[in-house]
Chains A and B, each alone.
Chain A
């Protein structure tokens, strides 16, 4: 059972545009929602994360929007740059010591110069 559904699978955006990636989850026990960025040949790295007590978190050009009632969250990349071209994974985990992250299937973002 896929617990975190991510879309789109791939995304092409012009430089300066807004990139939007969406995720939906099923498990209402999830309370931590990070986004990871992965460049080719590298491991994923944490980009930004949110907890359900807020509806939005912004760090520079990256914003997470969170809708608890809809069980959805999204990543917005403002003023997208070619250097943002990477694969983005949303993830979710529950409370407790395990924190086993359940990852979405990933979105390959290409920002055209």
Chain B
């Protein structure tokens, strides 16, 4: 597709359940980011993937959060044993690297997670 695609767009789950959020970046973008946006708040960095390098996990808030990126393309963010404070919009972004890199991040529309 032309843009960053995220699914599901909305997810309601019960406390304690595991959830998986998917991100399909723009074709050819080797850098991929996950951010979290809580209601009325800014964007909180979670994790960053760049090519085959080890991901930067420095923003993950707890060990209940994990992410993987398969084949350098699609990424999945997994939240285990969800808590009510995990309720937020999870945004994925991708970026070109190399000579065409302008620094611009292209965001998806996000996955809104509600933990009851």
Binding site for B on A (CB under 8 A): 6, 32, 34, 41-46, 49, 89, 93, 97-106
Q: Judging by beta carbons under 8 Å apart, are B45 and A101 in contact?
A: yes
**Chain B: minimal CB distance from A64 (Å):** 14
Choose from B50, B105, B109 the contact partner of A46 (Cβ within 8 Å): B105
Is A46 touching B43 in the complex (CB atoms < 8 A)?
no
Number of interface residues of B (CB under 8 A): 24
Binding site for A on B (CB under 8 A): 4, 31, 33, 35, 40-45, 48, 50, 56, 91, 93, 95, 97, 103-105, 107-110
A sample of 18 more A-B contacts (CB under 8 A), given A6-B42, A100-B33, is: A32-B103, A34-B103, A34-B104, A41-B109, A43-B4, A43-B109, A44-B43, A44-B105, A89-B43, A93-B103, A97-B50, A99-B95, A100-B45, A100-B48, A103-B42, A104-B42, A106-B40, A106-B42
Contact (Cβ within 8 A) A46 B56: no
> Bound state CA distance, A42 and B110, in angstroms?
7
Among the listed A34, A46, A105, which residue makes an inter-chain contact with B42, where contact means beta carbons less than 8 Å apart?
A105
A98 and B93: CB pair below 8 A?
no
Distance between B109 CB and nearest chain A CB, rounded to angstroms: 5
What is the predominant secondary structure among interface residues of chain A facing chain B?
Answer: loop
B109: chain A residues at CB < 8 Å are: 41-43
Chain A residues whose C-beta falls within 8 Å of the C-beta of B108 in the assembled complex: 43
With the chains together, A97 CA to B11 CA distance in Å?
33
Closest B residue by C-beta to A93: B103
B46 to chain A, nearest CB (A): 10
Given that A89-B43, A97-B97 are contacting pairs, would A43 and B56 also be in contact in the complex, using a CB cutoff of 8 Å?
no
